[in-house]
Chain A
Amino acid sequence: MSEASHILRTDDLDAAAAAWIVRRERADWTAGDQTELDRWLGAAAGNRIAYLRLRDVWNRADRLQALNQPARRGFFSFRQNEILKPLARVAMLFVVAAILGAASYAWLSRSTDTRYATGLGEREIISLADGSRIELNTQTVLRLSNVGGKRVARLESGQAYFDIKHNAANPFTVLTSQHRITDIGTKFEVRNDTGKVQVTLFEGSAQFESDDAAIPRQNAILTPGDVAVATAASMRITHKPPQKLMAELGWRHGVVVFDHTTLADAAREFNRYNRKKLVVTDPSVARLKIGGTFQTTNTNQLTQLARDIFGLTTDDRGEDIVISR
């Protein structure tokens, strides 16, 4: 390679580690290869570190998928944009300035309404001035408003974790399409799927109630460990042990935790984060149960284990990956 003139010790190590990552992603990766990789990783701390470091960035790079969504195409096409780029940058600055201007105007006018949205596989942390924190998971839309001192978060879709500093004079309310959660000093998670709301309470307590005259009245005070699932017709509360609760929040660290989860459910969970969907149609395959911790944006981990452990076939069709016998 032409860059050979200034290749250094660590650069060589990086090249070796990167070569392993590339090899591991190939379809012809075998158990023997894995043994060889394990041996290389175990040979020196430096090897392991170089590998972890590159894999970390390479996994993060899965986020670049977001740039491939049709709505954003053109925003990111290299060749034709070479000349326009400086212009686009200036334009972007104006947009940013406009947004900042609008945001500060809204802030100054004391009735704020801000919309936060995450794309496929994205996460976002919102820190509020009062020390409260909200974390948004993949494909989530949340609208925050502060009207007359009342903090209201409208979870239009998706999933969010709330760590709310309680203030009796200024209650914090989360609204979904048909329900309302009012904090009484809490950490909780809300997932708003079509037709179904799930609230998991980690600390403190909160009131969970229906907020739509068209549906039957539902009302409950949730305490730590409670998982409430409500539809328009009913509300059901179960209690989960702490360990399971933490697994529920794996997404905050970019992982999903499966425990006796069927392959069908696991695929559905993965599909929330990735453009390339996992497809499981054979009922006997869909029923297989798996466990373990997986990175949300790395479907390879699951397909590989499906192959290695269950001896299943995975067919990568470009748009999706079919898992079958």
Chain B
Amino acid sequence: MAETPDNSFERREALETDSVASRVDDWFVREVLPLETSLRKFLRRGWRNEADIRDLCQDVYVAVYEAALREIPASARAFTFVVARNVLADRVRRAQIVPIEAVADLEALGVSVDEPGPERTVMARQDLRKLQAALERLPARWREVVVMRKVQGLTPAEIVTRLGIADRTVSQHLTSGIAALANLFHDDPTDQGEKS
């Protein structure tokens, strides 16, 4: 009888999909994460220290995510950029420096919060192009394992055999590769604070 395993399978899925957190997770991945390229561009114009950009993004994400746990905002884009402006203003206050651009209006930065941004129409092709560009910029030893895993579809165990290096080293390279790939994927390489 396939009855019992069938039921438990569905129960488990149901538990995961019904909870508030997973609903917010879905929304976050679908609506907020694709904004990161624009978000980085926005943050970069208000904050000069490149090393802080990923931190600032994360601050914005945490604030947006926590607000969404209470109520999912009607417009992810508008909400995210309002939060981003607050995060920037806060950071500037705490740093006790006032770079002129830091508190500029969203409009002045050319970020329209109501119009659908280009990320709404991101498609498979663009994904592939962005991924490819990110992959090319990945440091060589991380790129090697990422290519084996994602382009050639090898399992971690197969990569270990293929490269003849320690299991732990493969895991470490994959770990670094995943983190770096995400940053590169979300970064527009042509964005150096001045564009369009």
A contact set with B: CB distance below 8 Å: 1, 6, 8-11, 13-15, 17-19, 21-23, 25-27, 45-46, 48-50, 52-54, 56-58, 60-68, 76, 78, 118, 121-125, 127, 253, 260, 275-276, 287-293, 305, 309-311, 316, 318
Contact = CB atoms under 8 A, between A and B. Distances in A.
B124 A118 contact: yes
Contacts, number: 164
Contacts of A52: 25, 28-29, 33
A19 B175 contact: yes
Given A57-B182, A318-B158, A309 B131 contact: no
B66 interface: yes
B154 interface: yes
Nearest to B21: A48
Contacts of B54: 8, 10-11, 14
A291 B135 contact: no
Given A53-B33, A64-B128, A289-B2, A76 B179 contact: no
Given A49-B65, A293-B17, A56 B124 contact: no
A61 B178 CA distance: 10
Contact of B6 (A46, A60, A289): A289
Given A52-B25, A122-B128, A309 B33 contact: no
Interface stretch (B80-88, B101-109, B144-152): B144-152
B10 A58 contact: no
Interface in B62-99: 62, 65-66, 69
B195 interface: no
Interface centre among A11, A17, A50, A53 (most CB of B within 10 A): A53
Interface centre among A1, A46, A63, A68 (most CB of B within 10 A): A63
Interface residues of B, number: 62
B55 interface: yes
A15 B151 CA distance: 22
Given A64-B132, A292-B9, A45 B62 contact: yes
B43 interface: no
Contacts of B158: 318
A124 B153 contact: no
A47 B99 CA distance: 31
Interface centre among B12, B36, B127, B128 (most CB of A within 10 A): B128
Contacts of B121: 125, 127
A9 B59 CA distance: 11
B157 interface: yes
30 contacts: A1-B172, A8-B52, A11-B179, A15-B176, A18-B177, A18-B178, A18-B179, A19-B171, A25-B156, A27-B156, A27-B157, A49-B28, A49-B62, A52-B25, A53-B33, A53-B36, A54-B178, A57-B185, A57-B186, A58-B181, A60-B127, A60-B131, A64-B132, A68-B151, A123-B123, A124-B124, A125-B123, A291-B13, A305-B9, A309-B12
